[in-house]
Structure 1
Amino acid sequence: MKIWKSRTRMAGGREVDLHIMGSRKKITTNIFVSLVCFGLVMGRVAAQQLPPTQTPYFQYGKGLEITAPDSLFQMNIRFRMQNRFAFYTPLADKFGIEEIEARVRRLRLRLDGFVYSPRLTYVIQLSFTRGDMDYDVTQFPNIIRDAFVRYQVTDRFSLGVGQTKLPGNRQRVNSSGDLQLPDRSIVNATFNIDRDFGIQAYFIENVYVLRGAISTGEGRNVLSTDAGLAYTLRGEFLPFGHFTNGGDYFEADLMREPSPKLSIGFSYSYNNNTLRTGGQLGHYLHEGRDLKTVMADFLLKYNGLSISSEYINRQTPDPLTFSPQGEVRYIRAGQGENYQVGYLMPSDFELVGRYSRLVPMPEIRQFERDVREFTLGLNKYVKGHRVKLQTDITLQQQESFLDGKDSRRQLITRFQIEVGI
């Protein structure tokens, strides 16, 4: 007798035992479920053995600091801006404001830190305002100010390569955000050696600092250079030891030094065959010129009092260059002196006074004037140099060398707020 319930006929005439097929499907299902359970168990065990998801460490101090979980990378992010009003009033027969300046003076983003080792550090600084980019001179958005990598060979000696400030006069090496007045002096504006691309070396001892650089001599963000390079040396002597928290490179005695601190500095720069009116700065000359700049400065800080001075002398054998059409462009050579004193009161208000004088060399006096400035300023430090209010008033005297003709006197009043992290 046929047992028709356990067998069926498939296409093609084949008969299949459904009972056997059901048993096989049950075995296969059990194996699959067992494998899934085994996988889940093993996955859970493996998950328990893996470390938790790693995320960077964030800290807030001087800016926003980000450190990789393995401590092989660190980046500090900072920004700052300066918003300024300035009023220019000629002292002539008709008294009144001739010009009003209202603008974002500076807007900068700074990134710094280390990669792979705390000995290998970097700094990147970008600028975004028209004046900061030197757009009127270069005719392109000159955004990159610093792009520099430095390696700490020993605790006292380091080497670096890239674009950054040269070791020139102290006021120029000071950040524009660390000044006692809204801007640097006319001496610095005319004779500083600014930034350049090249190699720099640093050596720091207990009572002295040595710095040197070999650079292109053409300033920042140039595509090529001529046959000449620039060579810069600087030495600093600190007879009473180093300043608190690097106070020799920011103005005002914010640390209120408990004992007198003094720094005396000398710099020398030789720019071979420069193509610009200020060496690393200014408009382009019609011919290359050799340029020598000698700089000397000192700084004293004690219990809220700060006294500083600078002298800069720039010389060139022949400052005048001519185009085929007879247009004249010249090296801005000569000498300048600057004296500055400030006192920081317990209320974090500061009174500042400054005297500056600029004297061009005889060969260019038909184009330049003898300039003197007398400045009185008042600051309120809310959070040190990062957040502060500044105002000053300057009497500027410009004396012509052409028999007293075309001499000028004017008052300059400025108000500035600085905010940064």
Structure 2
Amino acid sequence: MRPLFQRVAFGLIAFCWTSVGHAQNESDERALITVQDGVRISKDPLFLMNFRFRMQNRLGYTSVSGEDLSAGIVDARVRRLRLRLDGYVKDKRLRYYIQLNFSRADLDQESEGIAQPVRDAMVYYHATENVYFGFGQSKLPGNRERVVSSGNLQFPDRSIANSTYTLDRDFGVFGYWTIPFAAQQVQLKAALSSGDGRGAASGNSGMAYTGRLEWLPFGKFTNNGDYSEGDLEFEPKPKVSFGATYSFNDRAMRTGGQLGKPLYAPRDMHTSIADAMVKYRGWAMLAEYFDRRCDDPITINALDDVRLIRTGTGFNGQLSRVLKSQLEFALRYTRITPDARISKDRSTTEEMLLGATRYLNGHRIKLQCYTGYRWLKGNMATDGPGNSWTALFQVEFGI
């Protein structure tokens, strides 16, 4: 035990001296075996384990209305507290990735009231440098904002379009293929999954089928920057990534497919997503479009209670600038437009946020805040029903 303790202590001390330039962008689509921060335990060539954690502590406020600025909601909590383990066993081609969560907000008790501490539990086999497969529970290859780790976001939270139309995590078989040609790169991703979301009990006979295509016309981003928000690498040349996803959830059992409360009857769900990421000299742009469809999105039980699939369209756009001082300013506009069949229960919602982030050690240690305004049914007036102001401050600390 003493040598292990000494290794862990040495790793933590070494981390404290790590510079901003050493921070590595983590990925939720593969195991990381060459990390420069975190704690590393290795017995080459038989075993490797990278140990990392992160926490996000926040204080937020939402007004009663657009005119009444008194606090309607105060959000004071640990938003995320996560432990990540990844590495390999026996063979560097056989890798694992485990991520656990411990905060109440992360436990997904919405569906069955049962805490779900397991976020990711994956085994990967790397057939070649550019082809690998995964089996277990992880993020589906959906919209870019969702697949970006929550530790690599430039706002404390993802957009309301993401929370409404994202695919999220699921259990299944995953495949990834990177095709480099000339100075460009194409990435193909696919998943066959249960369709019921993370930690689901044995479900029905339906499955989810997801495919994604990405095109990087100017080649790879520095430090996997196409899956990290904000241009902390100050790309010297323009970098662009275009992505498109289609997912069919056959006989979905939850209001959001892999997320949400149980439906009263199964429904087929189609989700289409297009997104783009651009980075150049500290500037970054992210844009996403969502389209979710279902022939009959409304389900009713014997007591006439209604639960519906959140069909409709959504858009999220973000523009940001990182200064040499590692201070970033970001602007976000988001809109969700419910399908006409559910518009009586769901309103068109728009939101504008202005955020600032001070990076102390890349995305690993940072201070974040934002302020903004949300309005319903296209009515921006402060006296509009349901409109509100919001502000939030968050500290992220991790290795």
Q: Same fold (TM over 0.5)?
A: yes
Give 1:89's aligned residue.
Answer: 63
2:201 to 181, 199, 223: 223
AA at the equivalent of 1:385: H
1:270 to 233, 240, 248: 248
1:100 to 74, 77, 85: 74
AA at the equivalent of 2:324: P
* Structure 2 residue 144 is the aligned partner of structure 1 residue 170: yes
**How many Å apart are 1:93 and its aligned residue?**
4.9
Give 2:37's aligned residue.
Answer: 62
Give 2:121's aligned residue.
Answer: 147
**How many Å apart are 1:110 and its aligned residue?**
0.5
Could you tell me whether the CA contact under 8 Å between 2:316 and 2:333 is conserved in 1? yes
**How many Å apart are 1:400 and its aligned residue?**
8.5
1:307 to 268, 272, 285: 285
Q: How far apart, CA to CA, are the structure 2 residues paired with 1:94 and 1:67?
A: 57
Matches within 5 A, 1:161-310: 161-206=135-180, 207-310=185-288
* Structure 2 residue 354 is the aligned partner of structure 1 residue 376: yes
Q: How far apart, CA to CA, are the structure 2 residues paired with 1:329 and 1:179?
A: 31
**How many Å apart are 1:135 and its aligned residue?**
1.9
* Structure 2 residue 345 is the aligned partner of structure 1 residue 367: yes
Give 1:398's aligned residue.
Answer: 376
Give 1:322's aligned residue.
Answer: 300
Give 1:386's aligned residue.
Answer: 364
Q: How far apart, CA to CA, are the structure 1 residues paired with 2:369 and 2:76?
A: 14
* Structure 2 residue 329 is the aligned partner of structure 1 residue 354: no
**How many Å apart are 1:86 and its aligned residue?**
0.5
Q: How far apart, CA to CA, are the structure 1 residues paired with 2:336 and 2:291?
A: 10
Give 2:95's aligned residue.
Answer: 121
Q: Secondary structure at the match of 2:372?
A: strand
**How many Å apart are 1:94 and its aligned residue?**
3.6
Change (3 A) 1:263 1:94: closer
Q: How far apart, CA to CA, are the structure 2 residues paired with 1:150 and 1:289?
A: 31
Q: Secondary structure at the match of 1:417?
A: strand
**How many Å apart are 1:291 and its aligned residue?**
0.3
Give 1:158's aligned residue.
Answer: 132
AA at the equivalent of 1:284: P
AA at the equivalent of 2:81: L
Could you tell me whether the CA contact under 8 Å between 1:368 and 1:400 is conserved in 2? no
Deviation string for 1:100-125 (max 9, x for gaps)? 11000000001000111111111000
* Structure 2 residue 112 is the aligned partner of structure 1 residue 138: yes
Q: How far apart, CA to CA, are the structure 2 residues paired with 1:189 and 1:301?
A: 24
- Compute the RMSD of aligned alpha carbons: 1.9
1:337 to 296, 312, 315: 315
AA at the equivalent of 2:209: Y
If asked which structure has higher relative contact order (CA below 8 Å, sep 6+), I would say 2
Could you tell me whether the CA contact under 8 Å between 1:257 and 1:301 is conserved in 2? yes
Q: How far apart, CA to CA, are the structure 2 residues paired with 1:136 and 1:315?
A: 23
Q: How far apart, CA to CA, are the structure 1 residues paired with 2:66 and 2:148?
A: 36
Change (3 A) 1:217 1:143: same
Give 1:408's aligned residue.
Answer: 386
Could you tell me whether the CA contact under 8 Å between 2:376 and 2:387 is conserved in 1? yes
Structure with bigger gyration radius: 1
AA at the equivalent of 1:221: G
Change (3 A) 1:289 1:262: same
* Structure 2 residue 393 is the aligned partner of structure 1 residue 418: no
Q: Secondary structure at the match of 2:177?
A: strand
AA at the equivalent of 1:99: I
Could you tell me whether the CA contact under 8 Å between 2:292 and 2:311 is conserved in 1? yes
> Runs of 5+ in structure 2 lacking a partner?
15-35
Q: Secondary structure at the match of 1:171?
A: helix
**How many Å apart are 1:64 and its aligned residue?**
0.3
The normalised TM-score by structure 1 is 0.84
Q: Secondary structure at the match of 1:172?
A: helix
AA at the equivalent of 1:285: L
AA at the equivalent of 2:53: F
Change (3 A) 1:322 1:261: same
**How many Å apart are 1:92 and its aligned residue?**
4.6
Q: How far apart, CA to CA, are the structure 2 residues paired with 1:107 and 1:95?
A: 31
Could you tell me whether the CA contact under 8 Å between 1:399 and 1:407 is conserved in 2? no
Could you tell me whether the CA contact under 8 Å between 1:349 and 1:381 is conserved in 2? yes
Give 2:22's aligned residue.
Answer: none
The normalised TM-score by structure 2 is 0.88
Q: Secondary structure at the match of 1:135?
A: coil
Q: How far apart, CA to CA, are the structure 2 residues paired with 1:194 and 1:308?
A: 19
AA at the equivalent of 2:63: T
**How many Å apart are 1:406 and its aligned residue?**
8.0
